């Protein structure tokens, strides 16, 4: 006898539907909420799950995704039932893994016919599994947003790009997104095109929650597809939790879709440790000198090490004073800068805040961003192989960034002992690590 599991929290509806199916020769198991239903599904492996959409504890989308993620249930068919006939609900259900979607009140003959049809199709057919994510090929980094502070599109920034902080890293089978500035919008579109409906698993590492590092997230298309899994990792800010801070920018005065309404399978995890892993990629974080809570990340991949420090003000120049420096303050500054040098040491790719030139920095001491001379010097001292100047100032046009790049190259060349390749980050540039 074929078994059907009915997950329905409506106490009046559940026995009615169960009776109609039993009459038709089905063995019927019932559960009152999604969690209990999933437990039964795993125990009994029914041929079909009939599942309500809106339920306490675990909604129908979550049930679908959990079933589709369970190898033993790969042949189980799922029929979602719901009082809501919105086309988007149906689309989301199918994308979450349901085989069909029926609008309540569901007629007994309609349900029986749907079950007959689904179970007479090839039951042994495997449900399409999420594809391995970029499992092959060398590690690579792509720039999607390179600007600091605020997006600055226009003809004068068209070469380096006007979008704010966002990088894509592909390494060891993982897709890791660094920051969610406005550049993440175009990344989301590119990923959707590439995966073309196949589920994707992404990890988003946030350095901090200043606007230029999170503002693109509401426009990140993969977050709107229930088949996708987006894991957001970052550290708690000064006032409230990471989830609350990210949710605030999507509250109704600012954005039409709330964070919790996003249909994608999104988790937000506050990091506590400074070392963790994303799949096989080992990640180290370091708190840097920038207003609020801000970190840099070092990704240790099989293809090499990538360091991302989008916002940081080195201490030494900040603590130096024209009238003569306080020796203690300078000693402290040097110790702090030495820690940063250790953190970036030997990196294959270093992407780091280089917002100001020397004259400009004098007017911006204590703003939390770097003077380009210091960045170039430190990169050479740390024997970084490839340095990318990042967080370009919104007022700097392409010509200005190119001039700053030329200056940074000069500074790097004057240092003894190591040849660091210096470049300026620009949108669309992809760097393949040699491994
Ligand atoms: Zn920034
Ligand atoms: Zn910042």
* DSSP of 326-394: -HHHHHHHHHHHHHHHHHHTT-SEEEEE--B-HHHHHTSTTSS--BHHHHHHHHHHTT-SEEEEESB-T
Q: What tokens appear for 188 in the block?
A: 């989301």
For residues 178 and 175, what is the distance between their CA atoms, to the nearest angstrom? 10
Reported as a single tens digit per residue, the pLDDT across 17-36 is 999 999 989 999 999 999 99
Whole-angstrom distance, CA of residue 11 vs CA of residue 234:
42
Size of the chain in residues: 435
Question: 78 C-alpha vs ligand 2 centroid, how far in Å?
Answer: 46
**Taking phi first (over 0 means left), then psi (-120 to 50 degrees means alpha), and beta for anything else, what does residue 106 get?**
beta
How many other CB atoms are there within 10 angstroms of residue 243's CB atom?
Answer: 18
- Ligand minimally distant from the alpha carbon of residue 368: 2
Minimum-distance ligand to the CA of 352? 1
Q: Which ligand is nearest to the CA of 165?
A: 1
CA of 87 to the centre of ligand 2 (A): 40
Integer Cα distance of 352 and 372 in angstroms:
10
Q: What are phi and psi of 35, to 5 degrees?
A: -65, -50
User: Which ligand is the nearest neighbour of the Cα of 291?
Assistant: 2
pLDDT in tens, 165-195: 999 999 999 999 999 999 999 999 999 999 9
Q: How far, in Å, from the CA of 391 to the mean position of ligand 1?
A: 7
Distance 207 CA to ligand 2 centre (A): 9
Residue 123 has pLDDT above 70, yes or no: no
pTM (predicted TM-score): 0.71
CB 278 within 8 A of CB 174: yes
Q: What are phi and psi of 364, to 5 degrees?
A: -125, 25
For residue range 301-338, what is the model confidence (pLDDT) as tens digits?
999 999 999 999 999 888 887 677 788 888 999 999 99
As a whole number, the mean pLDDT across the chain is 91
Read off the pLDDT of residues 351-408 as tens digits, 9 standing for 90 and up: 999 999 999 999 999 999 999 999 999 999 999 999 999 999 999 999 999 999 999 9
Q: How far lies 198's CA from each of 128, 228, 323, in Å?
A: 8, 8, 62
Say which ligand is closest to the CA of 210: 2
DSSP helix/strand/coil, 52: strand
């Amino acid at each position: 006898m074929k078994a059907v599991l009915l997950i329905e929290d409506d106490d009046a509806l559940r026995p009615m539907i169960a009776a109609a199916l039993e009459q038709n020769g089905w063995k019927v198991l019932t559960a009152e909420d999604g969690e209990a239903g999933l437990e039964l599904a795993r125990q009994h492996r029914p041929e079909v799950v009939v599942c309500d959409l809106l339920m306490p504890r675990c909604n129908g989308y979550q049930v679908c995704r959990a079933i589709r993620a369970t190898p033993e249930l790969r042949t189980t068919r799922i029929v979602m039932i719901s009082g809501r006939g919105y086309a988007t609900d149906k689309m989301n259900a199918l994308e979450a893994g349901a085989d069909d979607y029926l609008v309540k009140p569901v007629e007994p003959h309609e349900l029986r016919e749907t079950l007959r049809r689904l179970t007479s199709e090839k039951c042994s057919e495997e449900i399409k599994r999420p594809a391995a994510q970029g499992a092959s090929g060398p590690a690579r980094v792509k720039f999607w947003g390179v600007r600091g502070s605020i997006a600055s599109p226009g003809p004068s920034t068209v070469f380096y790009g006007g979008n704010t902080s966002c990088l894509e890293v592909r390494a060891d089978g993982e897709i890791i997104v660094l920051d969610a500035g406005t550049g993440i919008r175009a990344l989301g579109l590119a990923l959707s095109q590439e995966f073309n409906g196949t589920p994707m698993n992404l990890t988003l590492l946030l350095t901090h929650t200043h606007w230029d590092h999170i503002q693109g997230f509401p426009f990140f298309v993969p977050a709107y597809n229930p088949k996708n899994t987006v894991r957001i990792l970052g550290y708690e800010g000064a006032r409230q939790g990471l989830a609350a801070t990210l949710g605030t920018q999507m509250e109704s005065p600012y954005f039409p879709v709330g964070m919790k309404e996003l249909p994608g399978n999104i988790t937000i995890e506050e990091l506590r440790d400074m070392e963790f892993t994303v799949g096989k990629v080992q990640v180290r974080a370091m708190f840097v000198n920038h207003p609020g809570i801000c970190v840099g990340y070092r990704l240790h991949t099989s293809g090499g090490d990538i360091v991302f420090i989008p916002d940081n003000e080195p201490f030494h120049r900040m603590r130096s004073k024209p009238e003569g420096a306080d020796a203690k303050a300078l000693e402290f500054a040097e110790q702090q800068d030495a820690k940063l040098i250790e953190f970036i040491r030997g990196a294959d790719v270093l992407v780091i805040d280089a917002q100001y030139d020397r004259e400009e920095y004098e007017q911006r001491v204590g703003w939390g961003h770097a003077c380009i001379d210091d960045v170039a010097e430190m990169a050479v001292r740390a024997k970084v192989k490839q340095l990318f100047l990042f967080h370009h100032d919104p007022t700097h046009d392409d010509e200005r960034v190119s001039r700053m790049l030329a200056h940074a190259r000069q500074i790097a060349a004057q240092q003894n002992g190591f040849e660091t390749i210096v470049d300026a980050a620009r949108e669309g540039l992809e760097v393949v690590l040699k491994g």
